[in-house]
A and B are shown apart, each in its own frame.
Chain A
């Protein structure tokens, strides 16, 4: 199995170039080829469940060569990236009919998937930077795909902020290389394990945090997201919001801080602070929005706050030598919310795309009364809205509940953390209010004359949103012991091992 690991990068990159070439002959080939490629990736991702291992690229062994590392956390992200990627491809087949040169879109789309898969499985910091840039550059171009005023403006903003973030990350990599003489993540972890914190490493950690926070759109670094996500075509909004900010932002940050540089209590507190700030500011800004997709984009910032809060809390407790079980609960909440957010937020963006596809607008005040015209979209959108607001038994409820439980457990030791519990519950409530507004304005009320003749979304788009709605309803089952042991627990263990990652990878797992 481990020999198949390079395929996660090779298939999308190869398919991207073949799509671009083949499309000169037959336009349909681009659709079929991309769907086959992402479908194959999804199958591969499912095969990786429960496995781990190290693949030395070109046969050069760990501390010297580049390695691809598969562990629990990578497996979870591979499932998310390729699962949402496959559904987005299906959705694009119908949705992208509106645009010219669909094959260029699929080329960029596959490059983005390849970059994200690379980030998730690589075991080398410079390699991580290269894949991060592949995914980023493809996403800058995809945001500008419409080529109109708003798209270009949003893309330029995203490009400038994203490149500054990448600049920080590259500088941090240079500092780490200067301090340890290693680029391999396992090698760096080995070099740093058991030593005192070097000042250079602390500086590099801060640069990494700033860089990855730009990619994850945490609050002081968020201004690109509410512009870029609504401007992109709907499947790309879903990919950016559902997958890209997680793979390039949260995953990379957690991996570097937990497993490569080592967490400190202060750093855990900073990450928690960023999470709380994102949660509250994101949701406050979301309440006043009247653009459907822009509202969803602000909610993405808010929900990423939950994920980062869970991970930061786990980091803080682990680094300050607290109860490992409580830290595990916090990490479980954060990681489960990461998976859940991928499902419900991409579903919401797909629903917004379906509504825009049929009605031609995404301003909430211009919409209304389309519940009888688009029953499937209405049903799935309701499921997703209740899920993001944390209504049981949908998936969002379980992860938010676990995060709340973790903050309460942690508050036994650090009473100040009870504030977090209050904020978490409050933000969830404001989210519910905001989404009731969406449902009310989009689907209920009087039907404007302009929408008398609209139909339900096309077949492929319908299949996508229905399967995601089923996922939203069923993802609470991930907490059943069997599924949890196969998918979630290995991911938490991968983070909890800390710098022990180094010796395990060097030993070949």
Chain B
């Protein structure tokens, strides 16, 4: 149930990138797409069993009850992936916004319809 919603969020981001005319809004759309994917990753690591209250962060506290830990802990790998993915996303967003600012300095607008020097 939650996974299709994630996908819907991804499509919302894609729509924003494709339909919006404002460069900053396009960058926001890219960010929405990326966060939808990150959310999907995190949800992949979630586990329903045992009860919600028992689910642990994937940090091992004691060596003694290892089986119990494996049974309760969420999958740590997606969390590590999401950290990496967020860092990459920040890099892309920073570059994109820098380009937006430079484009605004050159063209005096954020509207991509008015940036049409390249054609053909």
Chain A residues with a Cβ under 8 A of chain B: 126, 130, 133, 137, 140-141, 144, 147-150, 152-157, 159-160, 163-164, 166-167, 170-171, 174, 177-178, 183, 226-227, 231, 285, 288-289, 291, 294
**A residues in contact with B23, CB < 8 Å:** 156
Contacts of B70 in A (CB 8 A): none
**Nearest-CB distance from A237 to chain B (Å)?**
14
**Is B117 a contact of A167 with CB atoms below 8 Å?**
no
Other-chain residue from B17, B92, B96 in contact with A133 (beta carbon distance below 8 A): B92
Is B73 close to A, CB under 8 A? no
Query: Chain B contacts of A170 at CB under 8 A?
Result: 34, 37, 85
Interface string of B1-38 (1 = CB under 8 A from A): 00000000010011001000001001000100110110
Closest residue of A by beta carbon distance from B101: A152
**Given A147-B102, A226-B120: A171 touches B37 (CB 8 Å cut-off):** yes
| Complex: A177 Cα to B91 Cα, angstroms | 24
9 nearest A-B residue pairs (beta carbon):
A167-B33, A227-B118, A133-B88, A170-B37, A156-B99, A178-B44, A163-B30, A153-B115, A171-B37
Nearest chain B residue, comparing its CB with the CB of A141: B95
Closest CB in chain B relative to A201 CB, distance in Å: 15
24 A-B residue contacts at CB 8 Å? A126-B84, A137-B91, A140-B95, A141-B95, A149-B115, A150-B117, A153-B115, A153-B117, A153-B118, A156-B23, A156-B96, A156-B103, A156-B112, A156-B115, A159-B95, A160-B30, A163-B33, A167-B33, A171-B36, A174-B37, A174-B41, A174-B44, A174-B78, A285-B120
Nearest residue, chain B, Cβ from A164: B17
Q: Give bound CA distance, A155 to B88, whole Å.
A: 18
Q: Is the interface of B mostly helix, strand, loop or mixed?
A: helix
Report if A152-B30 is in contact (Cβ < 8 Å); known contacts: A159-B95, A170-B85, A174-B44.
no
- Nearest A residue to B99 by beta-carbon distance? A156
A291–B23 CA distance with the chains assembled, in angstroms: 27
Q: Is the CB of A164 within 8 A of B33?
A: yes
Q: Which of A149, A155, A164, A285 contacts B99 (CB 8 A)?
A: A155
> Is B66 in contact with chain A by the CB < 8 A criterion?
no
Contact (Cβ within 8 A) A156 B100: yes
B77 within 8 A of A: yes
State in angstroms the CA–CA spacing of A157 and B117 once bound together: 12
Shortest beta-carbon distance from B20 to chain A in Å: 11
Q: Which residues of B contact A (CB under 8 A)?
A: 10, 13-14, 17, 23, 26, 30, 33-34, 36-37, 40-41, 44, 77-78, 81, 84-85, 88, 91-92, 95-96, 99-100, 102-103, 106-107, 112, 115, 117-118, 120
- Within the complex, which residue of B36, B85, B106 is in contact with A148, where a contact is CB–CB below 8 Å? B106
Q: Which residue of A lies closest to B91 (CB)?
A: A137
A152 touches B106 (CB 8 A): yes
Which B residues touch A160, using CB under 8 A? 17, 26, 30, 96
Asked whether B40 lies within 8 Å of A152 as measured between CB atoms, the reply is: no
> How far, in whole Å, are A124 and B66 apart by their CA atoms in the complex?
28
Tell me how far the C-beta of A302 lies from the nearest C-beta in chain B, rounded to whole angstroms.
15
Minimal Cβ-Cβ distance residue in B for A177: B44
- Return chain B residues, CB-CB under 8 Å to A156: 23, 96, 99-100, 103, 112, 115
Separation of A227 and B36 alpha carbons in the complex (Å): 29
Residues from chain A with a CB closer than 8 A to the CB of B112 are: 156
CA distance A137 to B37 in the complex (A): 19
Query: How many angstroms from the CA of A177 to the CA of B45 in the assembled complex?
Result: 10
Could you say which residues of chain A place their CB within 8 Å of the CB of B14?
Answer: 164, 167
Give bound CA distance, A167 to B100, whole Å.
20
CA distance A170 to B13 in the complex (A): 14
- Complex CA gap A144/B100 in Å reads 12
Bound-complex Cα distance A164 to B88 (A): 14
Q: What is the distance, in angstroms, from A155's C-beta to the closest C-beta of chain B?
A: 6
A294 to B117, CA, bound (A): 13
Known: A156-B23, A157-B118, A170-B34. 6 other contacts (CB 8 A): A133-B88, A149-B106, A163-B92, A164-B14, A164-B30, A177-B44
Contact A167 B34 (CB under 8 A): yes
Q: Which of A126, A153, A163 has the most C-beta atoms of chain B within 10 angstroms of its own C-beta? A: A163
When C-beta atoms are compared, the residue in chain A nearest to B92 turns out to be A163
Interchain CB contact under 8 A, B120 and A137: no
Q: Do the beta carbons of B88 and A152 come within 8 Å of each other?
A: no
Chain A residues, Cβ within 8 Å of B26: 160
**B75 shortest CB reach to chain A, Å:** 9
- Cβ contact within 8 Å between A152 and B37: no
Q: Which residues of chain B come closer than 8 Å to A154, judged between CB atoms?
A: 118
Contacts of A174 in B (CB 8 A): 37, 40-41, 44, 78
